[in-house]
Amino acid sequence: MRRNDARHILIFVCLSLLLFISVGMTRGERGLLIGPESWVKNVAAVVEGIFYTPVHSALALSSSTEAASPKTELARMEAELKELKRENEELKKQWGYAKENPIEYIAARVVFRNTDRWHNKVVINRGKADGVEPKMPIVTSQGLIGRVQSVTSHMADVQLLTDTGGGPGIAAMIQGENEEVLGIIEGYDAVKKRLIMKKVAVTAKIKPGETVVTSRLSDIYPGGILIGTVAEIKPGESGVEQIAYVKPSATFERLDYVMVVRDPEKLQLQQHKNELQSKTGGDKR
């Protein structure tokens, strides 16, 4: 048999087979495919998979490109740029504050804030391994915001000044024109959004707008840390003191970067108190 004849026969067999399969495939829906029809289906599926995957990827890319239009992408990039600028400005302020106030600081970032206790506490990403100890003051470039309440190896809970549950009082000082007036900041008025400064001498002449800072007599806070300004003065219930409502200088709505104040003198004072307590069997105050 000549080669051309064999080729013609092979073509005829293939055409016949395809005709048989096409007739079988047009009979209607059937549950199970067998024989040559199943082979053709499988080959078709493989071929379809080979060509469908690139086409599908191209369509998906086209779809994602349409979803993230140039206008949307530009808006996203602008939002990210604004956030980076804001963080950069905040870090510059922190650096400037640390430069102007020569006290040892530990830079930290707020990593958690409970929505149920929004005005009471935040968690920062620095702990005992970084040199953070309980009671250390926490500041921003705007001023005092709170103190370390508890600490673990790499995290610390910070009690904010706006914690209405109270805490240890802060020895503070009102810097008047002619005198410096001592008092204790105890508590926060959530309605007025003001810190409450008690034990202010009734004879002291205080004016709204005067600056309030920490007193060096505090056993926790170094002296001179900005707390806020006097917003209102009223007589105390006992009649022997005045109460000053202090507008905080720091913003509490959004806290990102903070600084932990590490004052060696205050640490020594805390160690001294702890040693005395261990000798006397506890705090007798």
DSSP assignments along the chain, one per residue: --HHHHHHHHHHHHHHHHHHHHHHHTS---S---HHHHHHHHHHHHHHHHHHHHHHHHHHHHHHHHHS-HHHHHHHHHHHHHHHHHHHHHHHHHHHHHHHS-SEEEEEEEEE--GGGTTTEEEES--GGGT--TT-EEEETTEEEEEEEEE-SS-EEEEETT-TT--S-EEEEEE-SS-EEEEEEEEEETTTTEEEEEEEETT----TT-EEEE-TT-SSSPTT-EEEEEEEEEE-TTSSEEEEEEEESS--S---EEEEEE-HHHHHHHHHHHHHHHHHTS---
- For the entire predicted model, the pTM comes to 0.62
Amino acid 257: pLDDT = 92
pLDDT digits (tens, 9 = 90+) for 166-214: 667 899 999 988 889 999 999 999 999 999 999 999 999 999 999 999 9
| Residue 237 reports pLDDT greater than 70 | yes
pLDDT beyond 80 at 162 = yes
Q: What is the mean pLDDT of the chain?
A: 76
Bigger pLDDT: 251 or 177? 251
The answer to whether 140 touches 228, Cβ cutoff 8 Å, is no
Residue 267's closest CA among 91, 136, 153, 172? 136
Confidence grade of residue 73 (pLDDT, cut at 50, 70, 90): low
pLDDT value at residue 270: 78
Catalogue all structural domains in the chain, each as residue range(s) with its CATH number. Answer: 98-279 (2.40.10.350)
The pLDDT confidence band at residue 268, using thresholds 50, 70 and 90, is confident
Least confident of 70-84, 135-149, 187-201: 70-84
Higher pLDDT, 10 or 166: 166
pLDDT in tens, 97-134: 556 655 789 999 999 998 888 889 999 999 999 999 99
Which two three-digit tokens encode residue 196?
A: 């409450």
Q: Which residue has the tokens 């379809």?
A: 48
On the question of pLDDT at 215 being above 70, the answer is yes
Judge whether residue 35 has pLDDT over 80.
Answer: no
